[in-house]
Amino acid sequence: MSTPANLFTPIRIGAVEAPNRIFMAPLTRCRAAAGNVPVELNALYYTQRATAGLIITEATSVSPRGFGYPNTPGIFTEAQVAGWRTVTNSVHAAGGRIFLQLWHVGRISHPSYQPDGGLPVAPSAITPRGQIFTGTAMADYVAPRALELSEIPGIVAEYVHGAQLAKAAGFDGVEIHNANGYLLDQFLRDGTNHRTDRYGGSVQNRARLTLEVTEAVVGVWGADRVGIRFSPGGVFNDMRDSNPLETFGYVLQELSPLNLAYAHVTAVTAQDIAHGAKAGVGPRELRSSYRGNIVTAGGFDLGSGNQALAEGWADAVAFGVKFIANPDLPARFRAGAALNEPDETTFYAPGPKGYTDYTALAR
């Protein structure tokens, strides 16, 4: 009988040989420079965390229309490619592996972020509840503009272009951001997709854009260097679905034959439940719908991460806040060492404080 995997067990994740199953989750940190370009500070941040089994970068917009937060990076200009190449070269020199997360925020934006000052785009003209930081002040979300059917191929093309530029920037692969209430997630869930054309209505239609984008990105990278992220139980960004197990079960079943590197399926946390999410909609319940590698995330620690692997409903675990404060998280887990406490006031603040100044274990 084989020994169950734990977080220190190496894993082949698609084409990538990962030395452990302690992945770095995608984390928006709002520290890109002018032009949404990564700089040396970002390279240092990721390089400090190169002992992760796999780094998944912060969400990175594939389009000038895809932004909804200040100082987040893009992947649609040559300057952005050059900036990201600084990051990948440094991470690889330190022995790390790094995927770029491809992103479009859809309706979670504001005219102040749009290149023409126009409305954000979405599957349907449904205003999200809540407010957005415009870079200078808080403002109510606006009603987005529903994408015309003729515009949707252009959305797919933006993901393809981003995937191509990610390859030029030296990444090891890409993760498609289909979670957390952003554009692809908005198409997938019936709470935000009220379309009556071939991209709305049935779960088959609502999943169409996800599948088209994934197949197109696979055409650039090959399936073994592509992952995709879902948050089936999430309510962040005013998200809901009438039957999430059916919705996400269907899309995972449809993705299985592609043999992607992984599906990244987040677990419902106590914080999610406090904001209205329901338990029982996550990787454990959806494991049977997907036959490939499942990466999960959502408040795990060493013990609960190992338990998820031992029970077989996850193959690797992505850690977010713990990696913010502990650049050497795998070493700390292995040594049973105390973890640094994160400074939440610096999560989205500029500069190195709370970004590259957390201490590592003495060697």
Query: For residues 215 and 213, what is the distance between their CA atoms, to the nearest angstrom?
Result: 6
Query: For residues 52 and 324, what is the distance between their CA atoms, to the nearest angstrom?
Result: 12
Query: For residues 323 and 344, what is the distance between their CA atoms, to the nearest angstrom?
Result: 13
Nearest of 295, 309, 298, 302 to residue 331 by alpha carbon: 302
Catalytic machinery residues: 182
Would you tell me the crossing angle of helices 78-93 and 40-48 to the nearest 10 degrees? 30
Name beta bridge partners: 30: none
Query: For residues 211 and 159, what is the distance between their CA atoms, to the nearest angstrom?
Result: 12
Q: Per-residue DSSP letters for 189-235?
A: STTT----STTSSSHHHHTHHHHHHHHHHHHHH-GGGEEEEE-TT--
Query: For residues 280 and 289, what is the distance between their CA atoms, to the nearest angstrom?
Result: 15
Cβ contact 76:62 at 8 Å: yes
Q: Which residue type does 279 have?
A: A
Structure tokens at 94: 């330190």
The separation between CA 42 and the C-alpha centre of its own chain, rounded to angstroms, equals 17
Cβ contact 68:120 at 8 Å: yes
User: What is the largest distance, in Å, between two alpha-carbon atoms of the chain?
Assistant: 62
Cβ contact 149:200 at 8 Å: no
Q: Which residue type does 191 have?
A: G
Nearest of 314, 295, 257 to residue 179 by alpha carbon: 295
Name beta bridge partners: 59: 101
Nearest of 144, 55, 39 to residue 95 by alpha carbon: 55
